[in-house]
Amino acid sequence: MNILLLTSGITLDQLSHVIKTFDLSADNQFYFNGRSMDDRNLAEMDIVFGWDAKVMSKLLNMKHARLKWVQAYSAGVDYYPLTQLANRKILLSNVSGIHAEPIAENVLGMILSFYRGLHTAAANQVQQQWQAPNTPLTLASGKQMVIFGTGHIGSRIAELAQAFKIQVIGVNRSGHPVKAFPQTTAMTQVDSDLLKKTDIIVNALPLTPDTKGFYNRDFFKLAANRPLFVSIGRGPSTVTNDLVEALQAGQLGGAALDVTDPEPLPADNPLWTMPNVIITPHISGLYQNYLHDAFAIFAENLHQFKTTGTLAKNEINLKTGY
Amino acid sequence: MNILLLTSGITLDQLSHVIKTFDLSADNQFYFNGRSMDDRNLAEMDIVFGWDAKVMSKLLNMKHARLKWVQAYSAGVDYYPLTQLANRKILLSNVSGIHAEPIAENVLGMILSFYRGLHTAAANQVQQQWQAPNTPLTLASGKQMVIFGTGHIGSRIAELAQAFKIQVIGVNRSGHPVKAFPQTTAMTQVDSDLLKKTDIIVNALPLTPDTKGFYNRDFFKLAANRPLFVSIGRGPSTVTNDLVEALQAGQLGGAALDVTDPEPLPADNPLWTMPNVIITPHISGLYQNYLHDAFAIFAENLHQFKTTGTLAKNEINLKTGY
């Protein structure tokens, strides 16, 4: 198989290391420089790993390209042209699953930072100031949390939250039960009754036409207990201006954002300087073994793809987008 | 009973509220202004709640003072004159137990901040910079932790750490088993074998003659895996200069300090500006219901003290200091 690696930010050494680790070099040919590749070579690629807007656009507009499968290097695949892939019968898979642990750790870390004044203390530390935070310190224990999204990530957040004696409710499309959640409800049932007592709202939804702009003015108005809004899904699920207004109006008690719209968040956005807002630069899913664990999924898929033309795991439904 | 409240930083309103909540005003007389009280009145106090160096010194040097019991407003009682209290047969109790949840949440919050880059992100946020932390992001999951102190606080830290799939070993005086710990060892067994693979060292020890200066150059040299040193016990258990040197030499991978020696930590101490050091200003035990929960212990003790002259819970052994 000819495999084109579109992975900016990963060194050749790192890629060589994982290719060797999973023993993939024997009967596959790996290509690294998609942008400098001529059309004839590009058309001979069977598989793409990763993403590059220019190269993917070129490839998908070629009449005779051999491309049959794209393995994303992320959980969210909202940035891929799903309809175009579907029309050309190209499979798409993600690396969902490997993000659950790092993102859940990040979410708990942000929640604890918020309640325990660690975020404020870090800002004071920059000033070399030994000064108690001027917000009341409280406990995560006993709080109520609603998690939107009950997949790998939402489930691990739910497990960890319950270790802290946080009461958890999960929200998913149909309200179907999910093991890690003592209670779930359907997206269509989200109303002021659900959200009025909530202390923490977590966005762990994928970005799809249904979830774009879901967290807007009307949504934030449903909350009555000044909750902390935690977002680790995708930025465009939230209407940024409405979030700013909800914080300014005190409808929300705070926000902890690993994803924003747009990214990077412009330096003049008011969110940066609000004392009750924690911002991390879309890092919650990252960890040292990410490439290794992503390649483990890719290798398993590659093995099956070569024999049957199908994928072992993590195939995306190109209609729903997840 | 005549009860003298020595509680700077707590308003009269707050004190009135808890006295009312626990219905303590009927057959007790509460006094608030210890420093302006004349000697004759001071001598008639049966009970002291809290701490004030001047007032306590005066009281303990009076020949005919009635004082029989001091209820501390903290878990650590290292700042009380234990020998003098013992000589005058005055009981001392603390509010140990109520700190376990807030301090354990703080410890996990600091650990997650360290591994997930939240502390660095908070410093970048002050600069309004969307910039990935330049330290490798890693997981708490899979790490090894040694907790010094297996009481309420150490136990709750152990429980929460294990929810994050952290492997935990507890250290206490005799090495006796403790429910929350899968493994415990004795203080005398602490050697390079115990500490060589450790990723996280937690100080949850009380300050006593045995623990003063325990975390010193020789101790830090036992670690081989560049651990994170987390301290939420008392500052003087750690030799500050030795800690700075261990960080500078890379023997430690980082430090997360809620307690320091001295406090406040002077603005020119190098710990403030080390990127791998998290400092919070001795706030890890605080939370909104602290006064209420402390008074719940005091009220239970008061009830028994009035009938039997003994305490229901949390009496300090004035020889060991905890």
CB A81: neighbour CB atoms within 10 A?
Answer: 16
Q: Give me the long-range contacts of A218-224 (CB less than 8 A, separation at least 24).
A: A219/A190, A220/A245, A220/A246, A220/A251, A220/A252, A221/A246, A221/A251, A222/A190, A222/A191, A222/A192, A222/A194, A222/A195, A222/A196, A223/A195, A223/A196, A223/A198, A223/A251, A223/A252, A224/A192, A224/A195, A224/A196, A224/A197
Report the share of chain A in percent with pLDDT over 90.
96
Cα A74 to Cα A55: distance, rounded to the nearest angstrom: 18
Cα A312 to Cα A305: distance, rounded to the nearest angstrom: 8
Provide the pLDDT confidence category of residue B69 given band limits of 50, 70 and 90: very high
Rounded to 5 degrees, φ, ψ at A277 are -120, 130
Q: What is the pLDDT of residue B192?
A: 94
Q: What is the pLDDT of residue A134?
A: 85
Asked if the Cβ–Cβ distance from A287 to B139 is below 8 Å, we say yes
Q: What is the pLDDT of residue A9?
A: 84
How do residues A47-99 score in pLDDT, each as one tens digit?
Answer: 999 999 999 999 999 999 999 999 999 999 999 999 999 999 999 999 999 99
- Minimum CA–CA partner of A280 in chain B: B121
Asked if the Cβ–Cβ distance from A280 to B139 is below 8 Å, we say no
Residues of B with CB below 8 A from A121's CB?
Answer: 278-281, 283
Asked if the Cβ–Cβ distance from A136 to B272 is below 8 Å, we say no
What single letter denotes the amino acid at residue A65? A
Cis peptide before B275 (omega within 30 of 0): no
For residues A212-227, average pLDDT: 97
Mutate to test the interface with B, among A141, A280, A292 (most CBs of B within 10 A): A280
What single letter denotes the amino acid at residue B304? Q
**Strands annotated E in B82-199:** 91-93, 144-148, 167-172, 184-186
Q: How far is A301 from chain B (nearest CA, A)?
A: 26
Dihedral sign for Cα atoms in the order A6, A7, A9, A15 = negative
Query: What is the rounded end-to-end Cα distance, in angstroms, of chain B?
Result: 26
Asked if the Cβ–Cβ distance from B126 to A123 is below 8 Å, we say yes
Cα B269 to Cα A246: distance, rounded to the nearest angstrom: 40
**Secondary element (H or E) of residue A9:** none
Provide the pLDDT confidence category of residue B177 given band limits of 50, 70 and 90: very high
Cα A287 to Cα A226: distance, rounded to the nearest angstrom: 32
How do residues B218-251 score in pLDDT, each as one tens digit?
Answer: 999 999 999 999 999 999 999 999 999 999 999 9
Catalytic annotation, pick one of B173, B176, B263, B303: B263
For residues A176-203, average pLDDT: 96
Asked if the Cβ–Cβ distance from B102 to A123 is below 8 Å, we say no
For residues B39-57, average pLDDT: 96
Q: What DSSP string runs through A137-172?
A: P--STT-EEEEE--SHHHHHHHHHHHHTT-EEEEEE
Mutate to test the interface with A, among B106, B115, B120, B125 (most CBs of A within 10 A): B125
Mutate to test the interface with A, among B111, B120, B128 (most CBs of A within 10 A): B128
Q: How far is A103 from chain B (nearest CA, A)?
A: 9
Residues of A with a known catalytic role = 234, 263, 282
Cα dihedral B42/B45/B48/B54 (nearest 10): 10
**Secondary element (H or E) of residue B97:** none
- Nearest beta carbon to residue B138 from set A116, A131, A287: A287
CB B32 within 8 A of CB B5: yes
Cα A208 to Cα A90, A119, A234, A282, A317, distances in angstroms: 19, 32, 10, 18, 12
Residues of B with CB below 8 A from A137's CB?
Answer: 102, 283, 286-288
Q: What is the pLDDT of residue B27?
A: 87
For residues B130-141, average pLDDT: 93
Asked if the Cβ–Cβ distance from A281 to B102 is below 8 Å, we say no
List the one residue out of A65, A60, A61, A48 whose CA is nearest residue A7. Answer: A48
- Minimum CA–CA partner of B138 in chain A: A287
Helix (H, G, I), strand (E, B) or coil at A57: helix
Cα A47 to Cα A30: distance, rounded to the nearest angstrom: 10
All structural domains of chain B: 2-97+288-308 (3.40.50.720), 100-279 (3.40.50.720)
- How big is the A-B interface in CB pairs under 8 Å? 157
Cα B175 to Cα B149: distance, rounded to the nearest angstrom: 10
Average pLDDT of chain B, as a whole number? 96
Report whether pLDDT(A34) > 90. Answer: no
Q: What is the pLDDT of residue B3?
A: 97
The owner of tokens 């774009």 is: A212
Q: How far is A235 from chain B (nearest CA, A)?
A: 14
How do residues A136-146 score in pLDDT, each as one tens digit?
Answer: 899 999 999 99
Which are the contacts of B195, defined by CB distance < 8 A and separation ≥ 6?
B146, B201, B222, B223, B224, B227
What single letter denotes the amino acid at residue B150? T
How do residues A267-313 score in pLDDT, each as one tens digit?
Answer: 999 999 999 999 999 999 999 999 999 999 999 999 999 999 999 99
Q: How far is B124 from chain A (nearest CA, A)?
A: 9
Residues of A with CB below 8 A from B102's CB?
Answer: 116, 137, 139
Cα A5 to Cα A306: distance, rounded to the nearest angstrom: 17
- Nearest beta carbon to residue B163 from set A115, A139, A160: A160
Mutate to test the interface with B, among A101, A105, A274 (most CBs of B within 10 A): A105
Cα B125 to Cα A26, A117, A240, A242, A277, distances in angstroms: 47, 15, 17, 21, 10
Q: In which order are the strands placed within the sheet that holds A47-50? A: A29-31, A2-6, A47-50, A69-71, A91-93
| Helix and strand numbers, DSSP H then E, in chain B | 11, 12
Catalytic annotation, pick one of B17, B66, B88, B282: B282
Helix (H, G, I), strand (E, B) or coil at A265: coil
List the one residue out of A102, A109, A127, A257 whose CA is nearest residue B123. Answer: A127
Residue B234 a catalytic site member:
yes
CB B198 within 8 A of CB B225: yes
Query: What is the rounded end-to-end Cα distance, in angstroms, of chain A?
Result: 26
Cα A120 to Cα A246: distance, rounded to the nearest angstrom: 21
Cα B140 to Cα B165: distance, rounded to the nearest angstrom: 8
Asked if the Cβ–Cβ distance from B122 to A263 is below 8 Å, we say no
CB B44 within 8 A of CB B2: yes
B131-170: buried (b, 16+ CB within 10 Å) or exposed (e) per residue?
A: ebbeeebbbbeebbbbbbbbbbbbbbbbbbbbbbebbbbb
How do residues B91-129 score in pLDDT, each as one tens digit?
Answer: 999 999 999 999 999 999 999 999 999 999 999 999 999
- Nearest beta carbon to residue A112 from set B109, B117, B138: B109
- Nearest beta carbon to residue B287 from set A105, A139, A272: A139
Dihedral sign for Cα atoms in the order B72, B78, B80, B82 = positive
Please return the burial class of A17, using the count of CB atoms within 10 Å of its CB with bins 0-12, 13-18 and 19+.
middle
Asked if the Cβ–Cβ distance from B109 to A101 is below 8 Å, we say no
- Minimum CA–CA partner of A259 in chain B: B130
Cα A113 to Cα B274: distance, rounded to the nearest angstrom: 19
Report whether pLDDT(A27) > 90. Answer: no
- Nearest beta carbon to residue A116 from set B106, B132, B263: B106
- Nearest beta carbon to residue B122 from set A102, A123, A136: A123
Residues of B with CB below 8 A from A109's CB?
Answer: 109, 112-113, 116, 118
- Nearest beta carbon to residue B140 from set A105, A280, A284: A105
Rounded to 5 degrees, φ, ψ at A115 are -70, -30
CB B236 within 8 A of CB B229: no
List the one residue out of B54, B88, B53, B46 whose CA is nearest residue B71. Answer: B46
